[in-house]
Structure 1
C-alpha cells in the first residue's frame, strides 16, 4: 500500500465519522485499476468529463466517507485517499474489493467503480439509507435495464468480509471471480437509478457523458463545480445571487461590467469572512448600486432640489 501526497489523515484504526444527513458511518472503496480493454487500454480513471478526471468525480461523490481507499496504482487526486493494490495486480474486481476492504473499519462500506460520471453524494447517501432501513447485507443501484450494479453499492462490512472469506476458501483465492458470485451470497435491496449507475466502458459512453453535461439543465452546475475544483475552492454559493447581480449590472450599467463586477463581489467577500453569507452581502450591496445607477440613467430618480 502507498499513500499519495498529502497523505490521508485518517488512520485505518481511527473511529469512522458519520455521513452527513444519515448518521451512518461509512468508508469508501473505489476500484480504479482495471485494464479498460474496451477503451483500448486507455487510462480510464484519468479520462476527463467536464474538465475533471472520472476518478475525481467519483471521489467527490463519496467525500463524506471517514476514509477512502482507491485500489489502483497511486496518482494525483483532488482529495487525499489511501492506495492499495490487489495481489496479483489485475486479479479482477472481487480480488480488488477484498484488498481495499482490508483498509476499512466502519460498519458500512460504499463500493464504487471509478467510471461513474453522474454519481453524486446524494445517491451515495440514498444507498446508505436504503441499506440501514432494509436490514439487508447490501444496497445496490440498478441500471436502466434493471441490472444490479455491485460496484455502485453500499455494504455491511461484516457481511461483505464473511462472503469474501467464504469465496476465497471455496475457490482457493479470489483471482478472476465474477462479482455475481459475491452478491449471490448476500441479502440485497435495490435502488433504481439509471443516471447515477451510468458507467463509461467505451468511448461512445464517454462521448455521451460529455454531451450530457453540456446540456442546458446541467452545464452551469457542472462548470461551477469544475471551476471550484480547479481553484481549490470548497464553498457552496447560491449562484442565483451572482446571476441576479450580473443581470442587474448588465442591464443597468453595461454588459461588460457584469463579469468584472462579479469578480469584485468575490474579492470583497474574500476580504471579509469569505463565506457564502459574505458573498450574499456583497452581492446585495452591488445589486442596490446597480438599481440606483439605472434609476439615474433613466431619469426616474428624484432631483436633489425637487420639492
Structure 2
C-alpha cells in the first residue's frame, strides 16, 4: 500500500453509450462495476472517495465520501479530478497524491499505484498515467494535490482535454502488457459488460498480472 496517496473513482459521467444512468452501478458477474473497481483499489491506498454528481445516497452502500464536481454541466473527468484534489487538500492534507480511476474499469492492476509513482519518480515529473498496447489512458493517472490551483485555472479557461493539460506540466507513462487481457479494459456500452464477464474466471479471479508474475485476486 502507498500510504501517501488516496484514490478517486470517477463516476460522474453521463454514460450516454450505456444508455444513461450510473454506469458504475451496472452489473458485471452479478456485482456492480464499482464493486470490482473498489476491490482492486482498496489494497493499494488508505483512503478511497467517489466523484459523482446528484444524490449521493445511491452510493451509500459503500460508505465512502462522495465528492461532486465543483463545476456545472458535466465538464468531464478533469473536473472530477479537481474535486478530488480539493477534497484531499481540505480533508486529508497528509495525502499529497491522488490516483484517479474511471468507474468502468473493473480490471485495473493491483500494482497500479506503486508503478505510477515509480514512473513519476524515475522521470522526475509531477504526473503519471497508465499505458497499454501503445495507448495512453489519461483518466487513469497520478496527480499531485499541489497542482490543483493550476488545474482550476485551466478548467476556468475552457480546458477539457486531460493529455493536453498534463503535457504542460510533465507526465510519465507506466506501461502494462495488454495480454492476456488489457488491464485497462473499460465498459462503455452494454456489450462491453458481456465481454468483461467473459474475462472473469468462474471463481471470481481474473487473469491480470500484478507486475510480479503472479495472478491477481
- Is the structural similarity TM-score above 0.5? yes
Point out the structure with the larger strand share: 2
* Structure having greater relative contact order (Cα 8 Å, sep ≥ 6): 2
Deviation at 1:77, TM superposition (A): 5.7
Which shifted more, 109-118 or 177-186? Answer: 177-186
Output aligned runs, 1:1-307, within 5 Å: 20=1, 22=2, 24-63=3-42, 64-72=44-52, 73=54, 74=56, 75-76=58-59, 79-86=62-69, 87-104=71-88, 105=93, 106-144=95-133, 146-159=134-147, 161-168=148-155, 171=157, 177-193=160-176, 194=178, 195-213=182-200, 218-222=201-205
Distance 2:27 2:187 in 1: 11
For normalisation by structure 1, the TM-score amounts to 0.56
Q: Give yes or no for contact 1:94–1:182 (8 Å, CA) kept in 2.
A: no
Per-residue deviation, 1:109? 1.0
- The offset of 1:135, in angstroms, is 2.4
- What does the per-residue CA deviation read over 1:124-177, in whole Å, with 9 as the maximum and x for residues that have no partner? 332233333432212211132x22212111222223x143034145x1x66xx2
Gaps of 5+ in 2: 207-216
Deviation at 1:114, TM superposition (A): 0.5
Q: CA deviation at 1:59?
A: 1.6
CA distance in 2, matches of 1:43, 1:168: 24
The alignment yields a C-alpha RMSD, in angstroms, of 2.4
Contact 2:119 2:128 in 1 (8 A): yes
Structure with the largest fraction of helix? 1
Structure 1 Cα separation of the partners of residues 163 and 190 of structure 2: 25
Once residues 77 and 120 of structure 1 are traced to their aligned partners in structure 2, the CA distance between those partners, rounded to angstroms, is 26
